[in-house]
Amino acid sequence: MSMEICTIMTRLGYSEEIRRWRVEKYREIDSLQSARRSDDTLITAGSKAEGLTGVFESDMDFLYVLKGLLCVEAGISIYSIQADIEVYRMDTRVYPGHCILLQKRRGHKRWDIIQNSLCDNGSKDILLSSSLFLDEYSSSFTDSEDTVNHERSGPSIPGTFEGVVHVDRVSALRCHCPSILHKWAVRSRYWPSPVIVQKVVSLGAYLTPVGFKDSEYKHMEWRICFNTGETELVNNLNGTHAQVYVMLKMILKDVLRPCKKEVTSYVIKNIVLWQAECNPPNSFNAQSFFYWLHDGLRELKTAIVTQQLPYYMIPERNLMAASGLQDKQQRKWIADITDMMDEGPRVILRLPRIRQAVIASPEPMLWFSKKKMELEILLVEETNRYMKCKDENEVVNESDAILQEIRRRQEELVVEVAQRMHVEGSAVNDLRDIQCRLLM
């Protein structure tokens, strides 16, 4: 049964091959985008950077990292840092995984978003307020012809691009915190390998403008994050473990269905990372899929019962703290997870996409799966090529032969799918709608 579900997951777009391809393509797109940006570096984060979701399957998470500014731990000499860089000292004597920022040196560049977020604490210190920074950042986003912005969520500014692509945008500051990363790196572990541990350390950290929910000083606090390091870790999970991660996220979304982010996919990620670190890598294989899925459900249940889950990078930070989980909802989720654990492999039938794949005829499913994969590849390649066809004035060479061929093949594919749907008696709407539905 474990082998069979791994096969189904592959057909649904979660194979190692497509996963690795997505990772490389989004890295390339980031590089092309960042090369054109003067004030910040753009980084794709979350499931897209991990190669675990298709184009329209989930939100696209972007991190915008300001250039020319660095935040450092206590004990690091600012004189060792390039003279034109603006420097802030991290005061970590707040809730674990958070800090307050004190300005130590002004840089050559002046950002309005920074200048308008500075405060005097009454003791001759200049602090950078996360709340004011987020207000300034939010105001920089305005609705346009192709993008609609939504009410902000934590440090994120959500939006919808062309009515179909949902994006979460977070501004961040570069952070140098070697002692925190060293503490993580020297832990006894099965996984990842020492080479990957050192790579994660080299990727450093970021600060995002959000304090601890229950803190009296949350408007001044910043959260320490390791987006690129965590992406590297997830990218080094093996295929089976990555598929367990995907299915646990499906269970969260389709079965538990949180209303106010009481439990998030980030909680699931941390459960999976702890699983990987604490167990031999060769124990994660296709035959053991359901064992690890069951183990993940048990850890999720424990986190909900105890309201405790250590953050993988900084265990002193409790990811379930201030979750807002109410007693009634907590009892329901505990009961639901207990039922799922008792069901064994049949738990997968609770998930609409998996259930549909199980009962579907193999040939049509395989046919649609191949078309979906090709269409996703073409759409990502189009984005990549579109960036390459821009000149220094951001004007796109629409006559580019490769760009035109990519678009021609996309149209051809969508027509093929529409014709097959018509033959099989499915309702066929406009071609754009078919394309979006196929890629969700």
Q: Residue 26: inside a domain, yes or no? A: no
CA distance 267 to 311: 8
Counting beta carbons within 10 angstroms of the beta carbon of residue 287, is it exposed (0 to 12), middle (13 to 18) or buried (19 or more)?
exposed
Question: Is the model's pLDDT at 281 over the cut of 90?
Answer: yes
Q: What confidence score (pLDDT) does residue 417 get? A: 87
In the chain, the number of structural domains is 3
Q: Residue 196: inside a domain, yes or no? A: yes
Q: Are 317 and 311 in contact (CB under 8 A)?
A: yes
Residues 209, 260 share a domain: no
User: Which residues, 6+ apart, have CB-to-CB distance to 4 below 8 Å?
Assistant: none
Mean pLDDT computed over 197-208: 98
Q: What confidence score (pLDDT) does residue 428 get? A: 66
Counting beta carbons within 10 angstroms of the beta carbon of residue 191, is it exposed (0 to 12), middle (13 to 18) or buried (19 or more)?
buried
Residues 285, 168 share a domain: no
Half-sphere exposure of 175 (CA within 13 A, CB side): 32
Residues 106, 192 share a domain: yes
Encode pLDDT of 367-383 as tens digits: 888 999 999 999 999 99
Residues 407, 338 share a domain: no
Q: Are 241 and 14 in contact (CB under 8 A)?
A: no
Q: What share of the chain is helix, strand, coil (3-state, %, to 5)?
A: 50, 15, 30
Residues 289, 220 share a domain: no
Q: What confidence score (pLDDT) does residue 27 get? A: 96
Q: Residue 25: inside a domain, yes or no? A: no
Residues 187, 125 share a domain: yes
Q: What confidence score (pLDDT) does residue 4 get? A: 87
Question: Is the model's pLDDT at 256 over the cut of 80?
Answer: yes
Q: Which of 233, 258, 287 is the last residue of a domain?
A: 233
Q: Residue 434: inside a domain, yes or no? A: yes
Mean pLDDT computed over 7-31: 93
Encode pLDDT of 297-338 as tens digits: 999 999 999 999 999 999 999 999 989 899 999 999 999 999
Question: Is the model's pLDDT at 434 over the cut of 70?
Answer: yes
Instruction: Report the mean per-residue pLDDT for the chain.
Output: 92
Q: Residue 41: inside a domain, yes or no? A: yes
Q: What confidence score (pLDDT) does residue 429 get? A: 67
The rounded percent of the chain whose pLDDT value lies above 70 is 99
Question: Is the model's pLDDT at 214 over the cut of 80?
Answer: yes
Confidence class for position 424, pLDDT limits 50, 70, 90 = confident
Could you tell me the CATH number of the domain that includes residue 332?
A: 1.10.1410.40
Q: By residue range, what is the domain housing residue 248?
A: 1-20+237-358
Q: What confidence score (pLDDT) does residue 364 get? A: 81
Question: Is the model's pLDDT at 360 over the cut of 80?
Answer: no
Q: Which of 233, 267, 295 is the last residue of a domain?
A: 233
Q: Residue 153: inside a domain, yes or no? A: yes
Question: Is the model's pLDDT at 359 over the cut of 90?
Answer: no
Encode pLDDT of 175-197 as tens digits: 999 999 999 999 999 999 999 99
Residues 105, 94 share a domain: yes
Residues 290, 206 share a domain: no
Q: Residue 84: inside a domain, yes or no? A: yes
Residues 183, 122 share a domain: yes
Q: What confidence score (pLDDT) does residue 171 get? A: 96
Encode pLDDT of 72-96 as tens digits: 999 999 999 999 999 999 999 999 9
Residues 129, 219 share a domain: yes
SS3 state of residue 69: strand
Confidence class for position 234, pLDDT limits 50, 70, 90 = very high
Residues 202, 280 share a domain: no
Residues 174, 81 share a domain: yes
Could you tell me the CATH number of the domain that includes residue 224?
A: 3.30.460
* Least confident interval from 243-247, 355-359, 431-435: 431-435
Q: Residue 158: inside a domain, yes or no? A: yes
Q: What confidence score (pLDDT) does residue 279 get? A: 97
Q: Which of 341, 358, 375 is the last residue of a domain?
A: 358
* Least confident interval from 84-93, 156-165, 265-274, 287-296: 156-165
Q: Considering the entire predicted model, what is its pTM?
A: 0.93
